[in-house]
Amino acid sequence: MSLRGNIVRHWLKSSRPVSPSYVFSRRVSTSSTTSTLRSPVRATVYTTLFALSTGLFAVYYFDARSAIHRYVLTPVLRYTFDAETGHKIAVKVLRSGLGPRDPLQDHERLRSEIWNQDISNPVGLAAGFDKDGEAVDGLFDLGFSWVEIGSVTPKPQAGNARPRVFHLPDDSALINRYGFPSQGAASVLSRLRARIPTFHEAEDSSTAALRPGAMLAVNLGKNKESPVESADDFVAGVKTFGAYADVLVVNVSSPNTPGLRGLQNRDLLEDLLANVVKARDELPVSPITSRRPRLVLKIAPDLEESQIIEIAEVIRQSNIDGVIVSNTTIRRPSSLSHPNKSEMGGLSGAPLKPHSLLALRTLRAQLPSSIPLVGCGGISSGADALEYARAGASLVQVYTGFGYDGAGACRRIKDELCKLLESEGTTWSAVVRESVEKTSWKAPAPAPTPAESGEGTIGKLIEEAQELKSLLDRLGERIGSDVESLKANVGEESGTVLLASAS
Ligand SMILES: Cc1cc2nc3c(=O)[nH]c(=O)nc-3n(C[C@H](O)[C@H](O)[C@H](O)COP(=O)(O)O)c2cc1C
Ligand SMILES: *[C@@H]1O[C@H](CO)[C@@H](O)[C@H](O)[C@H]1NC(C)=O
Ligand SMILES: *[C@@H]1O[C@H](CO)[C@@H](O)[C@H](O)[C@H]1NC(C)=O
Ligand SMILES: *[C@@H]1O[C@H](CO)[C@@H](O)[C@H](O)[C@H]1NC(C)=O
């Protein structure tokens, strides 16, 4: 413990993040200056100790599994800086390539599948952490199998005034009203492009993540001044990022969209989806992924059941590939205890989980199994992730849990999940397959043909009855005529008999 304390103090004193080359050069320069000092022995001891502790620290630091990330570095970051600055620093470290790494391969048990594509584990990073696509590879290195950048707006915009993020640590929650600050599509695009030569050559992969078993998603946003009803910003986003993403996420998650009551808003949603799907279908096939991007909606957890049912109807009739459930909530559950709980904005983290889960279950029952759902909201452990799988999510995403637990969050969730699955003797895909089969919407049995349907049956009955009647009539006629001729015959014969007997 005290050794760790020392290591951390070392690190905090140095102004630059520790890198192996930095450690090396520091050791070299220290030993060269100390060689002229009075006590070479003492100097050597110090130098060795220093190198050792720094080296140890580096080992700890670079392994995302280390407890220092959860219990030391992340809390230090949280207490030292305001929420937004802490976030910025984290992005900068991950961007620099000096972030910690998940050193292990994902266990077979965690292998997941979405749209018939394999990914190595089900844990993704939700939108809003890397809004401008600065740290994509640093985030994949932490072990996320898929990373969603954005929201990206077409033009740069500043977002709301600060402070706009609030930590509610006692509640394991966050409130944010960022208002979608974005550097704009052009600058994010140039970053995504810049990744391509270096990584694409190295890793032969057919995903925009540029690594096997992973996916890259871009969350498309709208500029503040764009009209609410216009799909133009989303269409522009599809055109800009289509070739560079495996998945494009379109937000219908504003708590205002729920006003979907009434035909007008339903028409709006239908229109929006039709426009976005059309823009996607008109894209050329991406040279990176050899396909067109999937289109996924992201919805709010604050919808009523009737609204979810209505959205699902629209989705079923569109060519949307999946849904992320959910965004933050505008609710303030009574369990919240932090003084800042009444700040305006969207609430995320643990208190959001029951609401997201409920929305996900409701939607799962309204969409066919061919449309996968992604669970998001309050996930911070393996058990949370499994709960979402049982509710019918094919994959999950994390934001707030990652913010609180730091670099090792993804690795820890995966380890916990793996243990749970192992103890139950099952795998992630098996759990998902079973729950999706069981809980998803089934198309009603094919509509009966008119002849089979109720009205048809009666019609047919009447027809048959009429036919039967005419048969009977004809039979009656024949019987009648037969009887006549029979009578006549009998008359003749009996006459003959009578005549004969008389004679
Ligand atoms: C600070 C912050 C910023 C966010 N920014 C965005 C965003 O730009 N676009 C978006 O679709 N969702 C955004 N979200 C929502 C998250 O992607 C996620 O849906 C939500 O936080 C619920 O997950 P969690 O409980 O794991 O945090 C943001 C969330 C937080 C906390
Ligand atoms: C999400 O959609 C709502 C409603 O259309 C809009 O108010 C909000 O700004 C959108 N968010 C982004 C990031 O575009
Ligand atoms: C509430 O938020 C404000 C603004 O970020 C911050 O200065 C204050 O310390 C927060 N209150 C608590 C109790 O954390
Ligand atoms: C998410 O929810 C917040 C508030 O709950 C809202 O401001 C925002 O427009 C929603 N959409 C996205 C994409 O975050």
Paired tokens of 139: 């985030």
- State yes or no: cis peptide before 20, omega within 30 of 0: no
Average pLDDT over residues 92-119: 92
pLDDT digit string (tens) for 33-44? 444 446 778 888
Is the pLDDT score of 417 beyond 70? yes
pLDDT bin (cut points 50, 70, 90) of residue 66 is confident
Is the pLDDT score of 477 beyond 90? no
Q: Are 280 and 294 in contact (CB under 8 A)?
A: no
Higher pLDDT among residues 367 and 33, named by residue: 367
Note the ligand closest to the C-alpha atom of 342: 3
Is the pLDDT score of 499 beyond 70? no
Is the pLDDT score of 478 beyond 90? no
Find the 167 Cα to ligand 3 centroid distance in Å: 8
State the SS3 of 107-136: CHHHCEEECCEEECCCEEECCCCCCCCCCH
Long-range interactions of 270-274: CB distance < 8 A, separation 24+: 270/314, 270/317, 270/318, 271/231, 272/231, 272/234, 273/297, 273/314, 273/315, 273/318, 273/320, 274/318
Q: How much is the pLDDT for 162?
A: 94
Residues with CB under 6 A from ligand 4: 151, 251, 253-255, 298, 300, 327-328, 330, 346
Contacts of 131 by beta carbon, 8 Å cutoff, 6+ apart: 149, 150, 151, 152, 180, 181, 182, 183
Is the pLDDT score of 456 beyond 70? no
Residue type, 456: G
In short, whether 377's Cβ falls inside 6 Å of ligand 1 is yes
- CA-based max dimension of the chain: 171
pTM of the entire predicted model: 0.81
Q: How much is the pLDDT for 470?
A: 76
pLDDT bin (cut points 50, 70, 90) of residue 479 is low
Find the 181 Cα to ligand 1 centroid distance in Å: 13
pLDDT digit string (tens) for 152-197? 999 999 999 999 999 999 999 999 999 999 999 999 999 999 998 6
Residue 357 CA to residue 199 CA, distance in Å, equals: 37
Residue 88 CA to residue 93 CA, distance in Å, equals: 9
Find the 180 Cα to ligand 4 centroid distance in Å: 9
Find the 134 Cα to ligand 2 centroid distance in Å: 22
Q: Are 151 and 182 in contact (CB under 8 A)?
A: yes
pLDDT bin (cut points 50, 70, 90) of residue 498 is very low
Task: Name the residue of 254, 272, 296, 323 whose CB sits within 8 Å of the most ligand 4 atoms, as the mutation to test its pocket.
Answer: 254
Residues with CB under 6 A from ligand 3: 82, 163, 166, 339-340
Note the ligand closest to the C-alpha atom of 327: 1
Which residue stretches of 368-450 are H helix?
382-391, 400-405, 409-423, 428-439
- Residue of the nearest CA to atom 12 in ligand 2? 221
Query: What mean pLDDT value characterizes the chain?
Result: 84
- State yes or no: cis peptide before 151, omega within 30 of 0: yes
Is the pLDDT score of 449 beyond 90? no
Question: What are the C-alpha distances in Å from 36 to residues 30, 31, 43, 50, 388?
Answer: 11, 9, 10, 18, 63
Higher pLDDT among residues 10 and 88, named by residue: 88
- 219: nearest Cα among 139, 290, 144, 125: 125
Higher pLDDT among residues 278 and 102, named by residue: 278
254 noted as active-site residue: yes
Find the 326 Cα to ligand 1 centroid distance in Å: 9
Residue 101 CA to residue 90 CA, distance in Å, equals: 14
Helix axes 2-13, 40-62, angle to 10 degrees: 90
